[in-house]
Chain A
Amino acid sequence: MLFPSWAFLLFLAVLVPVYYLVPKRIQWIVLLLANAVFVCFAGFLGAVFMAVTIVTVYAASRAIDALFVRQRETIAAMKATHTKEERKAARLRFEKKRRLVLIVCLILNFGILFALKYGAMLGRLSAGLFGGKPFGQDLALTMGISFYTFSTVGYLLDVYRESVPAEKNPLKLALFTSFFPLLVQGPITRWETVGKTLTEPHAFDGRRFLSASLRIAWGYWKKLIVADRLLVAVKALCARPGVYRGDFIFVEMLLYAACLYADFTGGIDITIGVGEMLGVSIEENFLRPYFSKSISEYWRRWHITLGEWFKRYVYYPLSVSKPMRALSKGTRRLGVGVSRRVPVYLATLLVWALTGAWHGSNLTFLVWGLLNGVVILLSEELKPLYARFHARFPRLTESAFYRGFTVIRTVLLLSSLRILDCYGTVRDAFSSFFSMFTTWNWGAVFRGGIQSLGLSYFDYAVAFSGVLVMFALSLVQRKGAIRKRILKRGTVCSVCVLLVLIGTILIFGRYGFGFDASQFIYNRF
């Protein structure tokens, strides 16, 4: 069930009244049933994989929890009779057991994810090497698996770290894993924030309902009016790397930036709005990312939950891990600067390689991820240089003009990196990118060029207006939440805004017969 479908709207229209009419005690059971319907609707295989994740993570978390309890009991009992060293050895034994449980569970869950993501590619590779028919070509990523695997594994890691106690009721863990709004395109959520509120009783609140409806409508607005429209042109541009070169690539960069933003943030708006409608608050995943002044800031404001996850569970643990510290010490003779940088550099690059791999099995994604890491490290190294520049020209660097410049620079930089995301091969991506500097063909772009991409001038005008609206709202949003301000004006005003959103979607949205069934771009991850 995709967000822009009658099936999804009907699903919501049935679920919401039922959810608030049943006794509060069994509200979460209703939600669990709804999730089950949603998951089964998406396919049997997906339901099986999800069940495997739920069962294994539940078992592992309970086992780890039990080991903690036994460790405490054992060590308390040893206190009078054994030495400190013996107690430490006992603790290490328990630690080892816990780590074993964790690793087995991680291998299993990431194994499924890996097999689904890379199965087809490995099949082709082995067929190329050893001949025969490539296997695994019919494997498809099941809905939301990248997202729920990360969320649920995050919970397990928190239990392992004793940050949260293990949940005793497996159904509650199932509810967290399968919470349906998150299955479309995330965000990756945390047990501590979302998992617990899911099972709390929620009373109906008309104001919250209206607020949630506004958020959902705004999500659809971005998605159907801007994203799906621009996607047509972006696809056309990406499909013919040999033909669309030079200035077309610049156009492609900008269109893709607008398209991806509208698509992904629109989808998340719907997700968060649906959560709000059910009384569940889901983490924000974006904070006006295109207003960032550097790539690393951008990554703290775009797909926030993914960045947080990697930071929390990979980047920090890795950079303080024993081998990393040993490596750092080992390189000391190369100089203090080098040895201090070793953990940061290695962890950064590894996390970015993983982030790339998370986005897609194609080599282009790996290169994209690593380049992101390289850019971030470079800008860290250049910081002293910037500082000197700032000191030299304080009036310039504090001006709005300079801030605007850094923002535009960041958007162009990240859009350049994203070109890798558009093409099937690294070669096409690089060749297209560099053609921007060798081929000057603005003439061709505007003499019918952009009209050959499947969109009419009217479509461009609508999309451009949509981008302007998004931009204006982002500017306004910097001074405070927009929905709060609308709601403050009263119910009538809020309903009017809602109706205008719905009306414009119905008229200007790209949906229905003749337009391809809409797909969120981030749905494929």
Chain B
Amino acid sequence: MEKLLDILRELHPETDFETETRLVDGGILASFDVVMLITRIEEEFGVVIPAKEIVPKNFNSAAALFALITRIGEQDD
């Protein structure tokens, strides 16, 4: 989780990712950021997020995103 927060802070240092729950709906993460994020997640976690999981629901908070990463990671095994 801490690793994920680091990646997020890298992208937007000004945002408090631990509490924010409207990252996409609130316009903090643009599509540009989302793709950057996915690339970084693959680098750091070795998890590839499939296109069908790229919906606001999964990206609106760090917690949701972490849950997604964990879920996909488990599936892959």
Touch between A and B in complex, CB under 8 Å?
yes
A86 to B32, CA, bound (A): 38
CB pair A320–B49 under 8 Å, yes or no, is yes
Q: Give the residue of B30, B34, B43 whose beta carbon is less than 8 angstroms from that of A296.
A: B30
CB pair A316–B27 under 8 Å, yes or no, is no
CB pair B32–A344 under 8 Å, yes or no, is yes
A317 within 8 A of B: yes
A161 to B53, CA, bound (A): 9
B51 surroundings in chain A (CB, below 8 A): 161, 316-317, 320-321
CB pair B27–A347 under 8 Å, yes or no, is no
Q: Give the residue of B27, B38, B52 whose beta carbon is less than 8 angstroms from that of A319.
A: B38
A325 to B36, CA, bound (A): 12
CB pair B50–A344 under 8 Å, yes or no, is no
Question: Which of B30, B32, B48, B49 has the most chain A CB atoms inside 10 A of its CB?
Answer: B32
Q: Give the residue of A163, A311, A321, A340 whose beta carbon is less than 8 angstroms from that of B52.
A: A163
Q: Give the residue of A312, A343, A376 whose beta carbon is less than 8 angstroms from that of B35.
A: A343
Total interface residues on A, CB under 8 Å, equals 23
B4 to chain A, nearest CB (A): 16
CB pair B32–A348 under 8 Å, yes or no, is yes
Q: Chain B: interface secondary structure?
A: helix
CB pair B48–A315 under 8 Å, yes or no, is no
B67 within 8 A of A: no
B42 surroundings in chain A (CB, below 8 A): 325
CB pair A161–B38 under 8 Å, yes or no, is no
B22 to chain A, nearest CB (A): 14
A162 within 8 A of B: yes
A315 to chain B, nearest CB (A): 6
CB pair B32–A296 under 8 Å, yes or no, is yes
CB pair A325–B27 under 8 Å, yes or no, is no
Total interface residues on B, CB under 8 Å, equals 18
A297 within 8 A of B: yes
B20-63 near A? 1/0 per residue, CB < 8 Å = 00000001001110111011101100001111101000000000
CB pair A343–B27 under 8 Å, yes or no, is no
A415 within 8 A of B: no
With A163-B52, A320-B49, A320-B50 known to touch, is A343 a contact of B39 (CB < 8 Å)? Answer: yes
CB pair B32–A340 under 8 Å, yes or no, is no
A66 to chain B, nearest CB (A): 19
CB pair B39–A316 under 8 Å, yes or no, is no
A432 surroundings in chain B (CB, below 8 A): none
B48 surroundings in chain A (CB, below 8 A): 320, 325
A343 to B54, CA, bound (A): 15
With A162-B52, A297-B27, A325-B42 known to touch, is A316 a contact of B32 (CB < 8 Å)? Answer: no
With A161-B51, A316-B51, A320-B48 known to touch, is A344 a contact of B35 (CB < 8 Å)? Answer: yes
CB pair A340–B40 under 8 Å, yes or no, is yes
A348 to B30, CA, bound (A): 12
A345 to chain B, nearest CB (A): 10
CB pair A161–B35 under 8 Å, yes or no, is no
B42 to chain A, nearest CB (A): 7
A285 within 8 A of B: no
With A316-B54, A320-B54 known to touch, is A380 a contact of B39 (CB < 8 Å)? Answer: no
A391 to chain B, nearest CB (A): 10
Q: Give the residue of B30, B34, B36, B43 whose beta carbon is less than 8 angstroms from that of A316.
A: B34
B32 to chain A, nearest CB (A): 6
A202 within 8 A of B: no
B: residues with CB less than 8 A from A are: 27, 30-32, 34-36, 38-40, 42-43, 48-52, 54
10 contacts between A and B (CB under 8 A): A316-B31, A319-B39, A320-B38, A320-B51, A325-B48, A328-B39, A340-B39, A340-B43, A343-B35, A344-B39
For the complex of A and B, list the 9 residue pairs with the smallest distance between their C-beta atoms, beginning with the closest. A317-B51, A161-B52, A316-B54, A319-B35, A344-B35, A316-B51, A311-B31, A340-B39, A380-B32
Instruction: List 17 additional A-B contacts (Cβ < 8 Å) besides A340-B40, A343-B38.
Output: A161-B51, A161-B52, A163-B52, A297-B27, A300-B27, A300-B30, A316-B34, A316-B35, A319-B38, A320-B35, A320-B38, A320-B49, A320-B50, A320-B51, A320-B54, A343-B35, A344-B35
